[in-house]
Amino acid sequence: MSAQDFIVEIGVEELPPTALKTLSQSFTAAITAGLTEAELSFTSSKELLAAPRRLAFIVEGLTEQGTDKEIVAWGPPAKIAFDDDGKPGKAAIAFANKNGIAVEDLAVENDGKQDKLCARSTQAGSKAVDVLPGIVQNALDQLPIAKRMRWGASRTEFVRPVHWIVMLFGSDVIPATILGIDSSNQSRGHRFHCNENITINNASDYEAALKNAYVIVDYQVRQAMVAAQVKAEGENIGGHAVIGEDLLDEVTGLVEWPVALTGSFEDRFLDVPAEALISSMKEHQKYFHVEDANGKLMPNFITVANIESKDPTQVISGNERVIRPRLDDAAFFFATDKKTNLDARVERLKTVVFQKQLGTTYEKTQRISKLAAYIAAHIHGNIDYAQRAGQLCKADLVSDMVLEFDKMQGIAGMYYALNDGEPAEVANAIREQYLPKFSGDKLPETLTGCAVALADRLDTLVGIFGVNQIPSGSKDPFALRRAVLGFIRIISEKQFLGLDIDSLLIEAKNGLAGKISNDNVVTDVNTFIMDRYRAIYQDQNVPADT
């Protein structure tokens, strides 16, 4: 049976860059499943063909038609279907009519238990051109799109407005109307370098045709180009470009024809915490930052343009003009915040509500302070440092820096504590209270940081369980599951074997006296912790009993 390559491309307005990879993976997985269900075989496929303006999938060596199947229908037992003279009765006639065969052609076979009427027929395999439109439509319907949109006067909904559909089986267009657009062999090139229709003569020509139109459609190839170019730009200025996986994914989803360029900013901005500058460059402008041989931030950034400019200096200059006000903001916030010490900011926490029944963030810091001191005493830490760090741990939440750059919480507090003359361990503990932030993240390094991190999580767990807001299903507004996993990691990996969880929970409960109504809160939280603990070991294939 002959086979051809198959290509489908959905041409759209720019897709959300952070969702591009997930959308492509879902699209290809659903089409592959549809082909398997239709029993259409193929030799291989090219996945992750996705760029800002398109989702595509290529199947190589797809058979024109699925394998024929033999259909076996069993009828009534022979002793019922025929009378004593061997003539077919009503049951036999009904079975013959149902299966579209002549009564005299009825066959009797043994199904392994008894002789029965049996009708055998051959069902032709599905033709690829007949089922592919439905398979593609079903794949699009299954895409994990949080919110679909409509455009123009159409009632069609998709993640972004659709402009063209390419569907080719070999060199033949598969006629279909998908998302309100008729299929064709007409794709489109780069929005600026080749803003015109591109004819795809054959499915096997797809990637080459688009490359000639300034579109690198293979996501992984394009990502490798971005990473290599950014790395080379960093080396050209004697530094090391820091390429985070999440930013690399996002930038790959923003460009069709990547061109990395290096810009710079004034050295004076290096007086601002590096984390704030990096956050501004990364979050707002999608720039990669550069470090020197000692790991210190350099006054440079690397941007990835979506055009190959005849005058790159103009593109660089434009990016430098855009980032400068952002960095000015960070410098202004840092300078302004340093004029007010953390003690004064702690007072401002009295107006910030943590949770309606549990009171303000100020009250939470007082509870954390006492609980952190209690924990420090049991892990051989500095009680005074733990108590002080607990008092100051949330003060930076009302700083201008954190209000503008929310990911600076804790980090900003560390810098302000050092500026106020606080001990280095107290300052570091303010930053470390949020560690680990995610699975696999690093843990607090100081004992004071561990004490505050544990105290913060315990207060939240006991408090929220104490007002009967136990997580259910996907609802976990206070991220209690993540809090427990961090709590477990700190205790187990730091080997704080002297800590008794029940005692910690009772201490946390005492600190919340008068605010909680759940009398069984200690038991409930302990069970919650142990359930997570058991799940961790089950994931590692360690028996729960062990």
Q: How far lies 222's CA from each of 29, 192, 421, 502, in Å?
A: 21, 18, 48, 53
Going from the C-alpha of 326 to that of each of 62, 180, 266, 322, the distances in angstroms are 52, 42, 13, 7
Distance CA 525, CA 496 (A): 19
Q: Is the pLDDT of residue 504 over 70?
A: yes
Q: 70 forms bridges with which residues in the sheet?
A: 122
How far, CA to CA in Å, does 543 sit from each of 363, 485, 528, 537?
41, 19, 18, 7
The residues that bridge with 452 in the sheet, in sequence order, are none
The token pair at 292 is: 């020197």
Chain segment 298-357, per-residue pLDDT in tens: 999 999 999 999 999 999 999 999 999 999 999 999 999 999 999 999 999 999 999 999
- The average pLDDT across 170-197 equals 95
Confidence of residue 113 (pLDDT cuts 50, 70, 90): confident
> Is 382 exposed, middle or buried, given 0-12, 13-18 or 19+ CB atoms closer than 10 A?
buried
> Token digits for 509?
């409960």
- Answer yes or no: are the C-beta atoms of 4 and 64 closer than 8 Å: yes
Residue 300, beta-bridge partner list: 264
Distance CA 528, CA 482 (A): 12
Q: Distance between CA atoms of 169 and 413, rounded to whole angstroms?
A: 60
Q: Nearest CA to 55 among 149, 172, 136, 1?
A: 136
d(CA 507, CA 368) in angstroms, rounded, equals: 11
- What DSSP string describes 462-524? HHHHHTT---BTTB-TT-HHHHHHHHHHHHHHTT-TT--HHHHHHHHHHHTTTT---TTHHHH
Instruction: At 86, list the tokens.
Output: 């061997």
What is this structure's pTM? Answer: 0.83
Q: pLDDT at residue 536 above 90? A: no
Flag whether pLDDT at 457 surpasses 90.
yes
Asked if the model's pLDDT at residue 65 lies above 90, the reply is no
pLDDT, average across residues 234-240: 97
CA 112 to chain centroid, in Å, comes to: 53
How confident is the model at residue 302, as a pLDDT?
Answer: 98
Q: Dihedral angle at the C-alpha atoms of 491, 495, 500, 506, nearest 10 degrees?
A: -30
Cα–Cα–Cα angle for 327, 330, 336, rounded to 5 degrees: 140
Mean pLDDT of 113-139: 87
486 contacts: CB under 8 Å, gap ≥ 6: 435, 436, 453, 457
* Across 408-434, average pLDDT: 97
Q: What local confidence, expressed as pLDDT, does residue 111 receive?
A: 84
> Highest-confidence range of 11-20, 125-134, 530-539, by mean pLDDT?
11-20
37-40's contacts with Cβ under 8 Å and 24+ in sequence apart are: 38/66, 38/126, 38/131, 38/135, 39/66, 39/67, 39/69, 39/125, 39/126, 40/65, 40/66, 40/125, 40/126, 40/128, 40/131
| Portion of the chain with pLDDT greater than 90, in percent | 77
Q: How far apart are CA 487 and CA 508, in angstroms?
A: 14
> How much is the average pLDDT of 456-483?
91
pLDDT at 1 over 60: no
Q: Which token pair is 290?
A: 């550069």
**Is the pLDDT confidence value at 145 over 70?**
yes
Whole-angstrom distance, CA of residue 147 vs CA of residue 441: 31
Per-residue pLDDT at 335:
96
Q: Which two tokens stand for residue 222?
A: 């394009």
Strand ranges for 306-385 from DSSP E: 353-355, 359-360
**Could you count the other beta carbons within 10 Å of the beta carbon of residue 220?**
13
Rounded to 5 degrees, what are φ and ψ at 44? -165, 175
**CA nearest 74: which of 19, 29, 23, 114?**
114
Looking only at the bridges linking them, the beta strands covering 177-178 and 353-355 are unpaired
How many CB atoms sit inside 10 A of residue 541's CB?
A: 6
Letter string b/e over residues 6-38, b meaning 16 or more CB atoms within 10 A of that residue's CB: bbbbbbbeebebebbbebbebbbebbbebbeeb
How far is Cα 382 from Cα 391, in angstroms, rounded to an integer?
A: 14
Q: Is the pLDDT of residue 412 over 90?
A: yes
Q: Residue 304 contacts by C-beta under 8 Å, 6 or more apart in sequence?
A: 226, 229, 230, 251, 254, 255, 258, 259, 260, 261, 286, 288
With H, G, I as helix, E, B as strand and everything else as coil, classify residue 182. Answer: strand
Give first-to-last CA distance, the chain, whole Å: 56
